[in-house]
Amino acid sequence: MSEQKPITYADTGVNIDAGNRAVELMKKSVRSTFRPGVLAGIGGFGGLFQMDTAKYHEPVLVSGTDGVGTKLRVAFMLDKHDTIGIDAVAMCVNDILALGAEPLFFLDYLAIGRLEPEKVADIVAGVAEGCRRAGCALIGGETAEMPGFYGDGEYDIAGFAVGVVEKKDIIDGSAITPGDAVIGLPSSGLHSNGYSLARRVLLEMVAGRVEQVERELGCTVGEELLRPTRIYVPVVLPLLNKFKIKGIAHITGGGLVENVPRILPPGTAVEIDTGTWEVPAVFRIIAREGPVDAAEMYRVFNMGVGMVLVVEKELAGDVIDELNRCGEDARLVGRVTEGDGKVHLL
């Protein structure tokens, strides 16, 4: 009777050597994000971060976690993986920024069907770029090779961010009152929301190919779909030291109509004048070619406004001027009223 050959982990599709190589390839990107407070190197069982307690009297930690959703499918189609990590960071740090927090550190989780070290390094390079834009350190992560669960070339990524805010400076919307002004900051496009609908229209009804150039977009459909989510930390965080910001809403899935109410105190509502900014071409195409009605568009997509700030009416002009001096195209997009806790689109 012949002796049976021993089976190895690699025979099941998990390559430990490839994992080790991926770690080596990503080390430079990860180190580029380190900021004061990072204590541990790469490869330990946990990330260590020492908060500057001299800077805060009553520090409150703020955490957020998110993923990228079906935008990943576009990365698979284009075989382009060096920007998707920016989205993972953006979705988390923009959320904690909405409470007035400075992002401190970030951790990522990457699950992949077959570990290709160069691809993993590209993905993590995108995460590192997002962290540099947000000013936070990438201090930990996990890469899991999961053959039979994800197909070859497929993966999922999620992230977790931690920031800090002085307790007295937490921005929770409780100070918002009728008469306050609503300021909108432009998005870079779709960000990371509504992609099941966006792909259905743009890739099945309009283009059929990610490589197809759409004149109205000024780029290929794939380039538009893969455009990274904006990170608002460099613009908004300095603003918090100069002005009293009463409320901040990160406009993600649910759009303006579902995200702005999350910061409204009882007895208030918001009127948004949708004619105060130009809706980007990608949204106009989806609405027209779907067709998708306006109510659905504003409930699914950011429609060109990626973050909303609420300030006293008297401060609105100064805040907008300050933002625009920093290269923003901030707009007065609405006002707070007495009401039912909802957003009313005008």
How confident is residue 51, by pLDDT bands cut at 50, 70 and 90? Answer: confident
**CA–CA distance, 338 with 316 (Å, rounded to integer):** 19
Check for a shared fold between 10-169 and 181-345: no
Instruction: Provide the pLDDT confidence category of residue 10 given band limits of 50, 70 and 90.
Output: confident
- Quick one: average pLDDT of 126-140? 95
Q: Phi/psi at 275 (nearest 5 deg)?
A: -95, 5
Distance of CA 147 to the CA centre of its chain: 28
On the CB side of 221, CA atoms within 13 Å amount to 21
Confidence (pLDDT) at 98: 97
Q: Which DSSP category does 142 fall into?
A: E
List the single range of 30-44, 90-104, 204-218 with lowest mean pLDDT.
30-44
CATH annotation of 10-169 = 3.30.1330.10
- The answer to whether 117 and 155 have CB atoms below 8 angstroms apart is no
pLDDT above 90 as % of the chain:
76
The answer to whether 300 and 193 are in contact (CB under 8 A) is yes
Beta carbons within 10 angstroms of residue 293's beta carbon: 10
CA dihedral 239, 242, 244, 245 (to 10 degrees): 0
Sort residue 163 into left (φ over 0), alpha (ψ -120 to 50) or beta: beta
- CA dist 89 and 141 (Å) reads 13
Which of these ranges, 11-20, 103-112, 335-344, has the smallest mean pLDDT?
A: 11-20
Main-chain phi, psi angles of 287, to 5 degrees: -65, -40
- Residues 317 and 151: their CA atoms lie apart, in Å, by 52
Helix 84-97 × helix 71-78 angle, to 10°: 160
Contact criterion met (CB below 8 Å) for 277 and 184: yes
CATH numeric code, 181-345: 3.90.650.10
pLDDT tens digits for range 239-294: 999 999 999 999 999 999 999 999 999 999 999 999 999 999 999 999 999 899 99
Domain locations in the chain as residue ranges: 10-169, 181-345
pLDDT digits over 158-189, tens only? 999 999 999 999 999 999 999 999 999 999 99
pLDDT in the model for residue 11: 65
pTM of the model: 0.93
d(CA 36, CA 141): 19
- pLDDT of residue 33 exceeding 90, the answer is no
